[in-house]
A and B are shown apart, each in its own frame.
Chain A
Amino acid sequence: MAERRLRVLMAKIGLDGHDRGVKVVARALRDAGFEVIYTGLHRTSEEVAEAAVQEDVELIGVSILSGAHMALIPPLLEHLRAHQADDIRVLVGGVIPEKDRPKLVDLGVAAVFDQDSTIAEIVGWIGREFGLPASASPSTAG
């Protein structure tokens, strides 16, 4: 009777006020059968790390369109380590220049998706990463 559902926290960190993309992804993850905690706009990395701990998520999806990812992601990873929660994987999405992707991965980000990524790619990656059955596929195409 046990029922495990992947818990994912979706967050916007920093000053950018565009939340359409993150909402579309949140909705798609819901349709893929995940439990998605949405924390809204203008969060700090400390807030996100703390919410992730309280919500016991396995994955944090951060959307950054402002170009400030190299300034905002390291503190998030740092706060997760401070909470002894660096086993929580971090996925970054948004406008991320090619040259920054390996840097983010080196810092400890699990995956980077850009504005050209499809919902199916994101859900597919999550499914593989967390060993979920293939049936957990989105009902909406990206």
Chain B
Amino acid sequence: MRTVDIDFANRRQLARLITQVENDPEAAAAIVRAVWPRTGQARRIGITGPPGSGKSTVVDQIIERARAEGARVAVIAVDPSSPFSGGAILGDRVRMLRHSGDADVFIRSMAARSAVGGLAAATRDAAHLLDAFEFDVILLETVGVGQSELDVMRAADTVVVITVPGLGDSIQMLKAGVLEIADLLVVNKADRPGADETAMHLREMLRMAPPSPGAVGAVGAVSPASAVARSTSQDVERAPVSAVEWSTSQDVERAPASAVAGGHLSQAWNVAWEIPVLKTVATDGTGIDALWQTIRRHREFLRESGQLGARRRQRVEREVLEKVEQALAAHLRSRLAGQPGLGEILARARAGDLDPHSAARAILDHLLKG
């Protein structure tokens, strides 16, 4: 086991440790193990939304509000990698340069690399590091997202989803996905035509959400019996048994691991938190005070309702299971590489003699026998 010697006042070392967790899974394991006891204090706030919606500018404004309260602020801003060269241009920092020279602000750009969920594989580990380096507020800015990049809800306490006027009508907003993970919805560039309409559509969408949680939740497509069977620890976590009686950590521990890994997400998550729709013009600061106050209010809600601890326990559980899955997949890939029968099965699939499902099944059977 590698040991890591860390000076928690050294920003250069922090920057280098982040590079190591990005580049080297084994180093990441040693580093996170070393800093883990110091984590858990930071507020982790996710900022997501489509490309060009103003995420970086909103982040810049939030940095200022948080600094005004004396908080130490860190940012991880993720931009996409080229699927062809693997390179990236990381440009979010341009919007935040006025904080240069402030020793209590640390901004790090990160390429998504092969990850497709809106964050990079190393974003969570980097957030753990920043937490251990005593940043009070950690802002996680995703790549510009479409409808289904949901990593951020597994990395943040509070998720801010930013949209802008003119992206689509109310039908777009009915669709499932990124809007559902919002704790706060922001219509940025609200000085543009259509902002009120966009905000109204969002409020309508929120009103249409099932008023009450739990048993029915978001499982309209399955029978009540299977709804119960599919109930995951997320549902347990997110759905209060009643409006006041919040579930406890024991519920999480009782939930079967398999259910968590494959779990769907219940809309009941936010049941006692009315998701606000805010309008901002991030370039001139309009509406930012209200946004920051609402983020703070959400933090209070999470704390008082017990959901802060619940979300975090669930997050850790998920992180552990994901790591197991990744390690298993890597292990299987290396075993597959040495399988003599594999080439033959693949050749039959390539030739069209075997459909993809059957080919996969044949390879699995081969592996599990061997």
Interface residues of A, Cβ cutoff 8 Å to B:
1-5, 7, 26-27, 29-40, 43, 46-47, 50-51, 53-56, 83-85, 139
For residue A8, give the distance in angstroms from its CB to the closest CB of chain B: 10
B360 interface residue per 8 A CB criterion:
no
The reply to whether A39 and B88 contact each other, CB–CB distance below 8 Å, is no
Name A50's contact: one of B22, B81, B90, B100 (CB within 8 Å). Answer: B100
Q: Which residue of A lies closest to B28 (CB)?
A: A2
Segment 87-132 of B: residues with Cβ below 8 Å from A: 87-91, 93-94, 97, 100-101, 106-109, 111, 113
For residue A21, give the distance in angstroms from its CB to the closest CB of chain B: 15
A1, A4, A55 — most chain B CB neighbours (10 Å): A55
For residue A133, give the distance in angstroms from its CB to the closest CB of chain B: 12
B270 interface residue per 8 A CB criterion:
no
Q: Which residue of A lies closest to B121 (CB)?
A: A3
B2 interface residue per 8 A CB criterion:
no
Q: Which residue of B lies closest to A10 (CB)?
A: B89
B11 interface residue per 8 A CB criterion:
yes
The reply to whether A54 and B23 contact each other, CB–CB distance below 8 Å, is no
For residue B93, give the distance in angstroms from its CB to the closest CB of chain A: 6
Determine the chain B residues whose CB is within 8 A of the CB of A37 once the complex forms: 90-91, 93, 109
Name A39's contact: one of B19, B25, B93 (CB within 8 Å). Answer: B93
A29, A31, A47, A56 — most chain B CB neighbours (10 Å): A56
Q: Which residue of B lies closest to A6 (CB)?
A: B87
Interface size bucket, B side?
A: 20 to 34
Known A1-B25, A27-B89; contact A47-B101, beta-carbon cutoff 8 A: yes
The reply to whether B87 and A51 contact each other, CB–CB distance below 8 Å, is no
B82 interface residue per 8 A CB criterion:
yes
B69 interface residue per 8 A CB criterion:
no
Known A30-B82, A32-B87, A84-B12; contact A43-B97, beta-carbon cutoff 8 A: yes
A47 to B88, CA, bound (A): 21
A34 to B89, CA, bound (A): 8
Known A2-B25, A30-B85; contact A40-B16, beta-carbon cutoff 8 A: no
B167 interface residue per 8 A CB criterion:
no
Could you pull out 26 A-B pairs where Cβ atoms are within 8 angstroms? A1-B25, A1-B330, A2-B25, A3-B113, A4-B23, A5-B87, A27-B89, A30-B87, A30-B88, A32-B85, A32-B87, A33-B85, A36-B87, A37-B91, A37-B109, A38-B89, A38-B91, A38-B93, A39-B97, A50-B100, A51-B93, A51-B100, A51-B107, A56-B15, A83-B12, A139-B84
Determine the chain A residues whose CB is within 8 A of the CB of B113 once the complex forms: 3, 5
A85 to B13, CA, bound (A): 11
Known: A2-B25, A46-B100, A55-B15. 19 other contacts (CB 8 A): A1-B25, A2-B24, A3-B113, A5-B111, A30-B82, A30-B89, A31-B85, A31-B87, A32-B85, A35-B87, A36-B90, A37-B109, A38-B90, A38-B94, A46-B101, A47-B100, A50-B101, A51-B93, A54-B108
A56 to B15, CA, bound (A): 5
Q: Which residue of B lies closest to A28 (CB)?
A: B87
The reply to whether B89 and A36 contact each other, CB–CB distance below 8 Å, is yes
For residue B267, give the distance in angstroms from its CB to the closest CB of chain A: 37
B86 interface residue per 8 A CB criterion:
yes
Determine the chain B residues whose CB is within 8 A of the CB of A30 once the complex forms: 82, 85, 87-89
Determine the chain A residues whose CB is within 8 A of the CB of B12 once the complex forms: 53, 56, 83-85
The reply to whether A36 and B88 contact each other, CB–CB distance below 8 Å, is yes
Known A1-B330, A55-B109; contact A34-B23, beta-carbon cutoff 8 A: no
The reply to whether B84 and A40 contact each other, CB–CB distance below 8 Å, is no
Determine the chain A residues whose CB is within 8 A of the CB of B73 once the complex forms: none
Q: Which residue of B lies closest to A137 (CB)?
A: B85
A30 to B86, CA, bound (A): 8
B18 interface residue per 8 A CB criterion:
yes
Determine the chain B residues whose CB is within 8 A of the CB of A34 once the complex forms: 87
Q: Which residue of A lies closest to B82 (CB)?
A: A30
